[in-house]
Amino acid sequence: MSEEKLIHSEPERFEKLSIIYQDEHLVAINKPNRLLVHKTRIAEEKHFFANRLLADQIGCEVYPVHRIDRATSGVLLFAYSPQGVAMTQSLFMKGEVMKEYLAVVRGFVAETGSTNESLVKHETGVEQTALTDYERLNTVEVAISVNKYPTSRYSLVRMLPRTGRTHQLRRHFNHMGHPIVGDTKYGDLRHNRMFEREWGITSLLLHAHKLTFIHPFSNKEVRLQAPLSPDFVKAMDTFAWVNNY
């Protein structure tokens, strides 16, 4: 089985979804890796979708407020009505939602920084502005040679996307020379294979960790946080990184 199929293949089934927030208007889950948000034209052969699984689980229709990549784990927010979707999406469009991701990337990233490299929209070829701030949280150097160097270096990074472009974090960090581990589209396949061989880690190590916004109905602050995925926890344990983020 090729690495692309291994990392992005759909499991035979998904366990019960983990609900991390729920009120009369909104519900949020901790989306597992490899689960699509909803059915799309380019993934018609898939059988599992977060919106359908959640609707079946809680017994009512849900509508995605935003999207995260199929390969990415973490906070995914739904509304119970089209009105709830419109009101909450307006917060995203106005930049009033704070999104925080955690990722393991190749190499030692600068302690703090930002990139505003524009990204081309795949469907239209139009160049879009994109801004990502980031903070390095930890580093590790392991005595395993992947390419020409005798050791391999990795960083744990907090990523704060200020815009919401397709694959923004994956593309930005790849262009910076620090691809996210487990990324089969933009990443370094040699390091992906090493993580699988040495530690059995096959998922994209990108996690939508926190989402903070003012509730569009109650006007109260909502802070959502999703526990790390199993593969991410395995990486944290392997590198002796304390999981206190």
Q: Nearest-CA neighbor of 191 among 122, 111, 105?
A: 105
For tokens 């602050």, the residue is 221
Alpha carbons 170 and 187: distance in angstroms, whole number: 8
Alpha carbons 161 and 236: distance in angstroms, whole number: 22
The DSSP output letter for 93 is H
Kindly provide the b/e burial profile for residues 76-106, where b requires at least 16 CB atoms within 10 angstroms of the residue's own CB: bbbbbeeebbebbbebbeeeebebbbbbbbb
Pairing, β 26-31 against β 18-22: antiparallel
69 in active site: yes
**Active-site choice (56, 69, 133, 237):** 69
The DSSP output letter for 42 is G
* Residues taking part in catalysis: 69
